[in-house]
Structure 1
Amino acid sequence: MEMQRGVVGDLTKFPELVAACTRHDVVANAARLLHTARSAGLPVIHCTAAFRPDRAGSHTGNCPFIVSLLKDPDHMLEGTPAIEVIPELRDDGDLESRRHHGFSPFTGTALDMTLRSLGVSAVVALGVSLNLGIPGLALEAVNLGYRVTVVKDAVAGIPEDYAQAVMRNTISLLATRASTADLVEAWK
């Protein structure tokens, strides 16, 4: 979820989120988990976000956070390096589901149909952020009938005490929580 160059990579506008990811080895854990998933024949889908330069297809005035982001007219534009998945996590066989509005990856995208066409009934979520994206992903996936696991050492949010509270008080009600090591062992 949103492990993109303009979010947690070299082109970020969110240095505090990058620092949280670094402190918790989020990228390294995600890379290890995705490598293991691919080796086990499991599909990897990167849920990404982008805006068109004209903002068509995006709700731009209904959310204070989006309003503040879009004060930068070049923020996360289609066709720019900022929307690319960070290199450590990319593989040619991976799929991508991009959205142009909102904070969760299911609404208004082909993600649900893609998962169903692949025979997927369980979703493993990692990435950012525990503030909005990961809870939105988990809630929508549960509402659509998927079993959800959130990888507790491959997610981050800021401030970190709030992120941990979301894991304890929200994610725990929606999803199984597992470590990278737990899943790597299960998928071997």
Structure 2
Amino acid sequence: MGSRTEWDLAGTAVVAIECQNGTLGDDVAIPALRDAAGDLVDRIDEVLQAARAHGVRVVHAIYEGALGAANLGTEPLWRHIGPASANWTPGSLPTQVLPRLLDPADVVSPRHHGLSPVQGTELLPLLKNFGIHTVVLVGVSVNVAVLVTAAAAAGEGFHVVVARDAVRGVPPEYGEMVLENSIRQVARLARSTDLASQWQAAAANAQVAAR
């Protein structure tokens, strides 16, 4: 991505972080996060639809439960997530991507440990294998998973963009502070409507160049 508006669509992927029933659906592990979501799912859906329409790959990074592991981690957040997700297993309702956000062509990358999709997982190597160099992040939450993923992806050489109206933190005003004061240091911030228009323009330019 040579500038703020130049996109190599084939080298771009949207990574939807934990956009699943157990985080943004009815049976949630952290109710405060779902309650703060507001129109988040609508904004995520807009980004994913625009991505698919313009040849941008969509990858869902989900948490499928600890598979009975006794040691979930030392982070205090596990005191809340551990008991609430104790019965989560691969394919169970809480671990499934929200139906409206899932397309058969999407890639689903599960994990069974940690608080972010990138700690000891295959997500970033998988993206590199796909030829991806630019990652757009949507989902939850800005408090930990989005922040850690943005920093880790940037550290691995990816260009990182965070769709600021398609992510959320708890409380929401704190999420905005993290975006402005932390994530902005490792990623570009963009709004979902701007991404859609930029991708549309990039696709049109590619068609003209191919003639």
2-structure distance, mates of 1:160, 1:44: 25
2-structure distance, mates of 1:61, 1:125: 24
What is the deviation of 1:75?
4.5
Q: Which moved more, 1:155-164 or 1:11-20?
A: 11-20
Structure 1 or 2, whichever has the larger Rg, is 2
5+ residue gaps, structure 1 = none
Letter in 2 for 1:123: V
What is the deviation of 1:19?
2.2
1-structure distance, mates of 2:73, 2:133: 35
2-structure distance, mates of 1:149, 1:76: 30
> 30, 53, 77: which is aligned to 1:65?
77
2-structure distance, mates of 1:21, 1:83: 18
**Structure 1 counterpart of 2:130:** 118
Partner deviation per Cα, 1:132-153 (whole Å, 9 max, x = no partner): 0000110000010000000010
> 52, 57, 61: which is aligned to 1:38?
52
Superposition pairs for residues 124-143 of structure 1, below 5 Å? 124-143=136-155
**Structure 2 counterpart of 1:55:** 69
Partner deviation per Cα, 1:3-25 (whole Å, 9 max, x = no partner): 11001112213232122211xx2
- TM-score normalised according to structure 1 size: 0.92
**For the aligned residues, what is the CA RMSD?**
1.5
- TM-score normalised according to structure 2 size: 0.82
Partner deviation per Cα, 1:25-58 (whole Å, 9 max, x = no partner): 21111111101101111110001112244127xx
**Structure 2 counterpart of 1:11:** 27
**Structure 2 counterpart of 1:87:** 99
1-structure distance, mates of 2:98, 2:83: 24
Q: Which moved more, 1:131-140 or 1:104-113?
A: 104-113
When residues 99 and 82 of structure 1 are mapped into structure 2, their CA distance, relative to the original with a 3 A threshold, is same
Count of residues in Structure 1 that have an aligned counterpart in Structure 2? 184
What is the deviation of 1:61?
4.1
